[in-house]
Amino acid sequence: MMYKEPCFIVDQSRWLKRREEAYRRFLEDIEIGYADKDIVDFIKHIFAKEKIFTTSSCSGRITIVDALYPWLREESYIVFKKHEPVSVDEIIVVIQQQPLHRLWLISSGPIVHFVAVNLDTAYRILQIARESGFKHSGIISMSIDGIVVEIISGTWTSFLLRDGDVWFTNNIDKIVAVANEVLIEGKKRLEKLFKLFKDADI
């Protein structure tokens, strides 16, 4: 008996409605200055495509998080966020605040959530992503509203800056330099992803 790939069909009208709502929120974010400016042109290009759109996107960022561990979501508070390289002075000002737990400096690369209208398009997105260096990517959900593909660069690092009253900033210059390097590497991969998407027939 021959193997037959399962059939999955997205409701086109529901997908289009979801796309329109995502585009409206994107335009609002631009208007109020909330949108990540390093990825705005990329998102505009994605919305010009017929078979995909994006619901959330980040070009990469440096954050300071108040948490026991840098990977925790619950009991975790972002006290600083920037999508561009940071300076030592910016970081020192933030870590002067008394934390609830520990202060972690986290530098993370781009993450984009695409919503495809069919499986062929979702697989094509993954192919382009992996060619661009986004190896940690995959389909994370499938419904009649669309197929969600998460694209992650995998560029990520964290540094413990403060634990209660104890500071870990003897090498703060080097910490900030490495954090900025990680951020820039992720943005370079995003540029490659953008170029491949511009030429892709999707």
User: What are the sequence ranges of the domains in the chain?
Assistant: 12-199
Q: Would you say residue 9 has pLDDT above 50?
A: yes
- For residues 169, 80, 182, 149, the Cα torsion angle rounded to the nearest 10 degrees is 150
Residues 115-128 have pLDDT tens digits of: 999 999 999 999 99
Whether residue 129 contacts residue 109, with contact meaning beta carbons closer than 8 Å, is answered with: no
Whether residue 41 contacts residue 84, with contact meaning beta carbons closer than 8 Å, is answered with: no
CATH 3.40.50.1000 fits 12-199, yes or no: no
pLDDT tier, 7 (very low <50, low <70, confident <90, very high otherwise)? low
Whether residue 186 contacts residue 39, with contact meaning beta carbons closer than 8 Å, is answered with: no
Angle between helices 119-131 and 172-199 (to 10 degrees): 130
